[in-house]
Structure 1
Amino acid sequence: MRIAFIVGTPPKKLGSLEQWVLGVCAEALRRGHTLDLFTLLPVHPVVQQELDRLGVGFGSIESLRAAPVAAARRLASYDLLYANMLPPRSKVAFSCYAAWPAPLVFVEHCGDISTPVAPLRRYLSRALDQVTLLRVNELVGVSEYVRGRDVERFGLDARCTRVIYNGVDPGRFTTEKTPNPNGALRMICVSQLIPEKGIDVLLRAMTLTRAQDCTLRVVGYGRMEEPYKALVRELGLEKRVEFLGMRDDVHLLLRDAEACVHTPILEEAFGLAITEGMVSGCGVIATRSGGIPEIIDDGVNGLLVPKGDVAALASAIDTLAFDPALRARLGAEGRRKVERAFTLSRCISEHVDCMEQVASERRSAPVRLRPAPEAAARPAFSVSTVPAQVGPQGVPADTVSPRD
């Protein structure tokens, strides 16, 4: 089978996203398929070296975008198109729709931002949604939240959808922590620096904590970096908050943290940074949004707070700061949850399983109006085990829409 694996974000770090991309490529090749990868540029040199070593063909999404008609003809020659992180009405997405007869899987990683919309625009958008994915054989959501949202939004037959949770490699992370001489709570936040991720909420919460010696390291990049640094100065947090930028060694930085905080104000699709914190034995605090409650069982393997609630977030930080035993318990249970449900090997295997199943079925009219409720069960599919993949940990790229 010839597969076009399309990933609408640049693999420009050495992180969990890049591990997943390389792992899917390696597993597809191991099963005897041919695979070409299309991503945004730039590509990290180490990632490119591994692609070359594996024998993976490569093309840029920029080249598809520049010549959409030629792109559709090129994509039509594949036995399967496996599209990730593409806005469903983007130019590249339309090239995929036009690439008949290649079966198409649309993998949805995007969170949901609720913004007021005028009634007429809402009606027209709804009408377009009903026809946008008519050429899609299967829709994969990275959480039940995403799958349910898109079944409703696009009027999908739920039998043509499934959930494949994101995964991390537990072997890349350790629960051992570096010594903490003064005992103050060390926090880390791994995130895109965009408004939807709620970093400003976290900074304001730090001014309300009783634990005024707790510190925060912010790892990531984005258009809000300078405004957030200005807010740190305005709030007088210069000695407590550090911005580290884009890093390839987040798996090592997590050793220097007892708490991992993730506070999006959008409906988060999944929360890869949360699973990275959990598998590192951190006490995790996150907002109750989107697919996050599917990862965190509140009070068992992490703490959930309402979106945008500064006071509740400050209280949760104090809870972890003054209760080391609770931190340790949450961290241990968090690692167990990841090892049980969110491993990278499981994630990779399920994605390649999906590729093989859809290509073999080659449904001619895959996405239909929603059936009667009793017929809307999601099909079961097998999960095999693959070896742990290469590459250290990181965070998703800052793309057009917040994705995780």
Structure 2
Amino acid sequence: MSHGSSPDELAQRTGHVVRVLHLDHTSAPGGAEFALLRMLQAGPRWAPYLLIAPAEEQGGFGVYAAVPDRVPRRVAGVRQPAGASRGGRLAALAVGGRVLAQAAVVRCARAFRGADVVDANTARSAAYGAFAVRGTRKAFVVHLRDLVEPAALGRAGHALMVRVVLPRADGVVANSRATLESARPYLRSGVPAEVIPSASGLRTGAPARSAGPAASGSVRNVGMLARIDPWKGQMQLLEAFARVFRGRDTRLQLAGGAPFGHEQFAESLRRRADELGVGAQLDLPGHVSDVEALLSGWDVAVQASTRAEPLGQNVLQYLAAGLPVVAADEGGPAEWITDGVNGLLVPPRDVAALAAALERLDADAALRARLAASAAATPGLLDDPAVTRAHEAFYDRVLRSVSDRRRGRPSA
């Protein structure tokens, strides 16, 4: 855990409140955007400023329209299209041009000149943030929400991360141990690096509830909360659901928006559900703002991503809500779930194993109730104010490390 004075103590000693310029490459709905929004809504004791690149799909502040009025914000620069780092040489050149253009916008911003810390909320914003801080004494903090590997970042994005971003980082916040370990080979010695879960809107300390409306009978509602995206595993869950619940009075809810051009995938889910004979049992409600109400109606919650999830905010939300959880046994979710204790782990990308886990939970209400109670008591779950306090301490740790390095002292 972080050590040193808190930002409040630092302000009392120096009369200075830490000023943090938060960078994000989009205001479209996404896990990283909601995580930052929740921190800014939790009343941080640093002085935040938000600089957002224009979103592809909407004008204005998008998700960040809900940021409290006391937080200055600005949309400026050039769009940073999702997925652009996955193409060939021409796509890589286009990515580079957009990154450099946005770096110039950041460098010229008045908020940049006054910032103590430049904090990149996403991998793309970290790319242009790293160029913006070059040649300056600004402390540069990078949020890692994806594993540092080409499969997660794309070839161009991975190259930027390991050659430009991480070698310049003065601090790294990772959302899981798996994420942090994937970045360690590229960090300078002594750079503060810490695992802090993303702000996920958790309500901790609430009494554990039983395993949903069907606690004493069979499963009536199965759900996944994730953006509609092929790698999030909605298709795999649909296939497994059909094997167990076809023709039953059981519903499958795949809750989440379909940003970044995945509307066609949502349509393919509907078509496949019809082919499997469960079309009338499938709900695609889109983005859901009231997550607590959504989860309260589920009996079983699933995470089935087809590549390793760096964290899986949905898994934290499931656990805090006291739901029986089925998750893929890799990446961040496997750090939070002990198989058979507070959830069930299944081999990733294995539809048969996922179906077997659903069938097991359907047949055993006592197991569902036991997993639900243990889920709500999972150690380490943090609500948004606690996540925000952890960031406050981390910013102070980074500033102390930067100061010590400039004075030739070893980092604490």
* TM-score > 0.5, shorter chain as reference: yes
- Is the CA contact (8 Å cut-off) linking 1:202 and 1:310 kept in structure 2? yes
Q: 1:110 and 1:128, CA in 2 relative to 1: closer, same or farther beyond 3 A? A: closer
Partner of 2:124: 87
- Is the CA contact (8 Å cut-off) linking 2:25 and 2:52 kept in structure 1? yes
Partner of 1:400: none
TM-score after normalising by structure 2:
0.75
Match of 2:333 among 283, 292, 297: 292
Report the Cα distance in structure 2 between the residues aligned to 1:203 and 1:311, rounded to whole angstroms. 12
Q: 1:107 and 1:171, CA in 2 relative to 1: closer, same or farther beyond 3 A? A: same
Deviation track 1:238-295 (CA, whole Å, cap 9, x = no partner) reads: 1221111111122101111110011001110101111111122211001112111111
Partner of 2:19: 2
Task: After TM superposition, give the deviation of residue 187 of structure 1 in Å.
Answer: 0.7
1:302 and 2:343 correspond: yes
Q: Which has the higher contact order (CA 8 A, sep 6+)?
A: 1
Q: 1:325 and 1:176, CA in 2 relative to 1: closer, same or farther beyond 3 A? A: closer
Report the Cα distance in structure 1 between the residues aligned to 2:179 and 2:40, rounded to whole angstroms. 21
Task: After TM superposition, give the deviation of residue 362 of structure 1 in Å.
Answer: 2.3
Match of 2:75 among 57, 60, 66: 60
Deviation track 1:303-351 (CA, whole Å, cap 9, x = no partner) reads: 111111010000000111111111111111111116x433323211111
Report the Cα distance in structure 2 between the residues aligned to 1:321 and 1:330, rounded to whole angstroms. 13
- Is the CA contact (8 Å cut-off) linking 1:112 and 1:266 kept in structure 2? no
Partner of 1:382: none
Q: 1:34 and 1:127, CA in 2 relative to 1: closer, same or farther beyond 3 A? A: closer
- Identity level (%): 22
Match of 1:145 among 158, 178, 186: 178
RMSD (Å) for aligned C-alpha atoms: 3.6
Match of 2:169 among 111, 128, 136: 136
Q: 1:326 and 1:86, CA in 2 relative to 1: closer, same or farther beyond 3 A? A: same
- Which deviates more from structure 2 when the two are superposed, residues 138-147 or residues 42-51? 42-51
Task: After TM superposition, give the deviation of residue 302 of structure 1 in Å.
Answer: 0.5
Task: After TM superposition, give the deviation of residue 47 of structure 1 in Å.
Answer: 5.5
User: Partner of 1:56: helix, strand, or coil?
Assistant: coil
- Is the CA contact (8 Å cut-off) linking 1:188 and 1:218 kept in structure 2? yes
Report the Cα distance in structure 1 between the residues aligned to 2:137 and 2:339, rounded to whole angstroms. 46
Deviating 4+ runs (over 4 angstroms): 40-47, 61-67, 111-116, 124-128, 171-174, 176-183, 363-366
User: Partner of 2:378: helix, strand, or coil?
Assistant: helix
Report the Cα distance in structure 1 between the residues aligned to 2:183 and 2:304, rounded to whole angstroms. 23
Q: Which amino acid aligns with 2:238?
A: L
Please show how residues 194-213 of structure 1 align to structure 2 within 5 Å. Answer: 194-209=229-244, 213=248
Q: Which amino acid aligns with 2:384?
A: L
Report the Cα distance in structure 2 between the residues aligned to 1:207 and 1:359, rounded to whole angstroms. 53
Q: 1:244 and 1:291, CA in 2 relative to 1: closer, same or farther beyond 3 A? A: same
Please show how residues 308-347 of structure 1 align to structure 2 within 5 Å. Answer: 308-337=349-378, 340-347=380-387
Match of 1:275 among 298, 311, 316: 316
Partner of 2:192: 160
Unaligned runs of 5+ in 2: 1-17, 80-97
- Is the CA contact (8 Å cut-off) linking 1:27 and 1:352 kept in structure 2? no
Match of 2:141 among 81, 102, 105: 105
Report the Cα distance in structure 2 between the residues aligned to 1:215 and 1:198, rounded to whole angstroms. 17
Partner of 1:38: 51
TM-score after normalising by structure 1:
0.76
User: Partner of 1:242: helix, strand, or coil?
Assistant: strand
- Is the CA contact (8 Å cut-off) linking 2:27 and 2:33 kept in structure 1? no
Report the Cα distance in structure 1 between the residues aligned to 2:77 and 2:343, rounded to whole angstroms. 40
- Which deviates more from structure 2 when the two are superposed, residues 278-287 or residues 176-185? 176-185
Q: 1:21 and 1:172, CA in 2 relative to 1: closer, same or farther beyond 3 A? A: farther
Task: After TM superposition, give the deviation of residue 207 of structure 1 in Å.
Answer: 2.6
- Is the CA contact (8 Å cut-off) linking 1:137 and 1:358 kept in structure 2? yes
User: Partner of 1:227: helix, strand, or coil?
Assistant: helix
Q: Which amino acid aligns with 2:138?
A: A
